[in-house]
Chain A
Amino acid sequence: MNQERHKGQPGHQGGAGAPDNRLRKELPEERPPSAAPRGEPEEKAPPVLTGRQRLLQSLWPPRVSRAQLIVALLLFGLGFGLAVQVASHSEGDTALRGARQEDLVRILDELDDRTARLEEEQQNLEGQRSELENSSDQAEEARRQTLAKERQLGVLAGTVAAEGPGITVTVEDPQDAVGADQLLDAVQELRAAGAEAIQLNGVRVVAGTYLTERTDGDAGVSVDGNKIAAPYRFKVIGKPQDLEPALNIPGGVVQTLEKEQATVVVERRTKIVVDALRAAKRPDYARSSAR
């Protein structure tokens, strides 16, 4: 390369005709082309062409020569490498490709730190999640138990309907001789025999139920202030095998009622529905002392 240049420049200088200044050698070099037809032939035999003419001449017409083919091969390699490099550089993340090694190491370190931090955070969050899941499971369990308890207590308190095996007791009282005390005896007997839910003529019988004679002179009794009259129908949930004998024992409820000319029919049922309800009442004075 440098060889060429050094060879070339003096040649032109000579052709241009001795420039006095080395720095300005380029200028004389340019002049000769215009004056080439006259100036150059003095020294060189072939007609000297300007650079532009030489360029055009070499471009057209195309000549196939060994030199051209070799140069074409080299330029093919150059073009190929150029295109490959450009293509490989323009695709992919160019931000990292040009980065120096120290920068890359720093970026890698930062990424590692970040990964560690995020993993720590992930562990924290997963711990929190499992804690919350546990506690919500526990809360769910507690809620379920409370609900079950509420149902059990609701059956006792008469706030929910109940169903199960039991008996029905029907007391016909044509003489209007059955009073509140006999009915209360029947209820007590049933309770003692393990009755869990009792309904008397559509009135739920609970712990605080009271039975009184009617004050208006009509036949019948009043249960918790609800006036009822014969026939008295008990619906009782409990173990039928316990309840029925409890009523039928000698000198028991049935015999006492029959002495009053009433007829008593006791039937066992596999399914009794006690659906009379009672509003839950908050006690005015009594407070739970538990817990």
Chain B
Amino acid sequence: MIAVLGLVVGVVVGLLVRPEVPAAVEPYLPIAVVAALDAVFGGLRAMLDGIFDDKVFVVSFLSNVVVAALIVFLGDELGVGAQLSTGVVVVLGIRIFSNAAAIRRHVFRA
């Protein structure tokens, strides 16, 4: 419950404050957000499976974000930033979908 509140408060604060995204972070933010979403879905699934571990969640969340940003950075340096970003988004999207499917089975039993 506290976690859900944290999410809601984060969204509200983000919408109200409207901070200017620093130019250095701008290319990494969308990928990092998608990676974090993947971690959250994974955590939710783990919770429904009854094996949720906060330490694992924290580590996976942070490592997901860092690795995603790193891949984009590397791609930018190599000159294939756009393609690599697309690839990361596709992979993370697939994982989110599979996690969402597992969550759906738990919640709706279908």
Q: Is B24 an interface residue (CB 8 A)?
A: no
Q: Is A58 an interface residue (CB 8 A)?
A: yes
Which residues of B (3-57) have their CB < 8 Å from a CB of A? 3-15, 18-21, 26, 29-30, 32-33, 36-40, 42-43, 45-54, 56-57
Q: Summarize A's interface: helix, strand, loop or mixed.
A: helix
Q: Is A77 an interface residue (CB 8 A)?
A: yes
Task: Contacts A11-B51, A85-B29 given; indicate if A78 touches B40 (C-beta within 8 A).
Answer: yes
Q: Is A5 an interface residue (CB 8 A)?
A: yes
Q: CB < 8 Å: which of A48, A51, A68, A89 contacts B48?
A: A51
Q: Is A7 an interface residue (CB 8 A)?
A: yes
Q: Is the CB of B50 within 8 A of A48?
A: yes
Q: CB < 8 Å: which of A4, A52, A64, A78 contacts B7?
A: A78
A89 CA / B49 CA spacing, docked (Å):
35
Q: Is the CB of A79 within 8 A of B56?
A: no
A5 CA / B56 CA spacing, docked (Å):
11
Which residues of the other chain, B, contact A58 by a CB distance below 8 angstroms? 1, 47
Which residues of the other chain, B, contact A148 by a CB distance below 8 angstroms? none
Q: Is the CB of B51 within 8 A of A76?
A: no
A interface list, Cβ under 8 A from B: 1, 3-5, 7-9, 11-12, 26, 29-30, 33, 48-52, 54-55, 58-64, 66-85, 87-89, 100-101
Apart from A7-B51, A8-B51, A85-B29, list 9 A-B contacts with CB within 8 A. A55-B107, A71-B57, A72-B3, A72-B7, A79-B8, A81-B14, A83-B14, A88-B20, A100-B82
